[in-house]
Structure 1
Amino acid sequence: MDRTRSIVHHDLVTDLIQQLLKHNGNTYLIICGTRSEFLVQVSAAIHLQSVPEATRRHDLLANTIGLLANSSKVRLTFTPSLESLRSYLATLDAKIGVKEEVHKGSTSPLLVILDLVALHGSTMEFAAQGLSRTFAAAVESAYRADMDLVLCECLNAVDPSSADWGRRLWNTQVPLLNGSLRIRSEEGNWGGRGISIKQIAQRWFTFDKEIDAH
């Protein structure tokens, strides 16, 4: 069966979570960060959604984490470094028994990676070479496990104006080789000779219409 490889848009991590909980099939969610960082983002995202009472925000946070923890369909993994992400991807098929069984009435199993591009931002591999290596590893991992693959870059809910997170990353220009000199403009964009991350990703992935429009 042909599997899909797509890049979707959700501004807030809470929007992505709600969408995944609706998926009628098993989901393996890889969060590129630590558990504590993820909880901070969920809490800040709830705050941005204009919930008035602090106690209500606490309830929403607890409910969100509880839904994930108690879901038999969503399995969470935290990978705070490129090395841990690539290591997990290399052994994913062994962890899940090679291939996911699709039961009658269920949709295809999903491998979802949150903030893969942002994870590269503070490393010497924020370049076409490093990003291509990670994209290829994700595609190969999903292929071996016979799962659809989804990538998503969410805003930094603590600092929504940050240029290092979210949909805007796909239009960022990066150098071709790891460790190349990068110059940042006053607007926060990386400049110089290079290629956009979107152009790199299009080798493997299709973008949803909302990202294509920007």
Structure 2
Amino acid sequence: MVPMRTIAHCDLLPDLIQQLLESNSDTHLIVCATRPEFLLHLTAAIRSQRADPDTAASHDLLTKTIGLLARSSKIRLAFCPTLESLRAYLAVLGANSNESTEEIRSRDRQLLSILDMVAMHVTTSEFSAQGLSRTLASAVEAAYSAGMDLRLYECTNALDPSSAVWGRKLWDMSVPSLNGSVRMRGDESTWGGRGVTVKRVAERWFEFDHSH
């Protein structure tokens, strides 16, 4: 089976977690943040959904049903708050796969999901086509070595929903070709020199899934 490499849309963290749980497949979720940061964003997202009576009543994650919690054993969770820690984790994940090609083909397909990988680049000198390509290639290589499908998610920042450097808005941002390029004064979305959209960089390896 050909590995799937997709980019999916989930506006808020509870939607992502529910989607992963409902898939009922073995999932390795890498969160590009610290555990406290993740919990802070999750709490803010849940509170924003509770403010909407219709959403709060229908969202399984908020009701915390026994069945939902029982299925959570399907998800392995890891936190990588820096680019260095993420790349190191991916290198180890790929290298530690001891299964043979036949064993990988015979078992159910597992999923490697990475949350907010692009957002983690924004405040670094590697928010560029070069830096993003390096990280994306590392993820693709790790998933291939481990015989896993790969899916990326960028969720809205529930603490600042209008932010342009979180969520699906990130894919339309323009980045420079090389690391270390300088933003134009007064406009953080504009770079000196020629640039390319984040989506264009990602499309080298991934397909965008618009079903969610």
Using the size of structure 2 for normalisation, the TM-score is 0.85
CA contact (8 A) 1:185 1:191 kept: no
CA contact (8 A) 1:44 1:157 kept: yes
Amino acid at match of 1:110: L
Partner of residue 189, structure 1:
189
Q: Matches of 2:198 and 2:85 in 1, distance apart? A: 22
Kindly report the root-mean-square deviation, in angstroms, between the aligned alpha carbons of the 2 structures: 3.0
Partner of residue 109, structure 1:
110
Q: Cα offset for 1:71?
A: 2.4
Change (3 A) 1:24 1:48: same
Question: What SS does the corresponding residue of 2:24 show, helix, strand or coil?
Answer: coil
Question: What SS does the corresponding residue of 1:149 show, helix, strand or coil?
Answer: strand
Task: Name the structure with the higher helix share.
Answer: 2
Residues 50-102 of structure 1 show CA distances to partners (whole Å, capped at 9, x for unaligned) of: 3479xx9xxx67949xx679722100000000000000000113455447857
Amino acid at match of 1:198: K
User: In the comparison of the two structures, how many residue pairs are matched?
Assistant: 204
Q: Matches of 2:26 and 2:115 in 1, distance apart? A: 16
Amino acid at match of 1:25: S
Partner of residue 123, structure 1:
124
Q: Matches of 1:184 and 1:174 in 2, distance apart? A: 15
Amino acid at match of 2:200: Q
5+ long unaligned stretches in structure 2: none
Change (3 A) 1:18 1:184: farther
Question: What SS does the corresponding residue of 1:30 show, helix, strand or coil?
Answer: strand
Amino acid at match of 2:75: V
1:18 is the counterpart of 2:26:
no
Q: Matches of 1:160 and 1:88 in 2, distance apart? A: 29
5+ long unaligned stretches in structure 1: none
Question: What SS does the corresponding residue of 1:72 show, helix, strand or coil?
Answer: helix
Q: Cα offset for 1:182?
A: 1.7
Partner of residue 78, structure 2:
77
Partner of residue 155, structure 2:
154
Partner of residue 181, structure 2:
180
Residues 98-120 of structure 1 show CA distances to partners (whole Å, capped at 9, x for unaligned) of: 4785787x5x2000000000010
Partner of residue 31, structure 2:
31
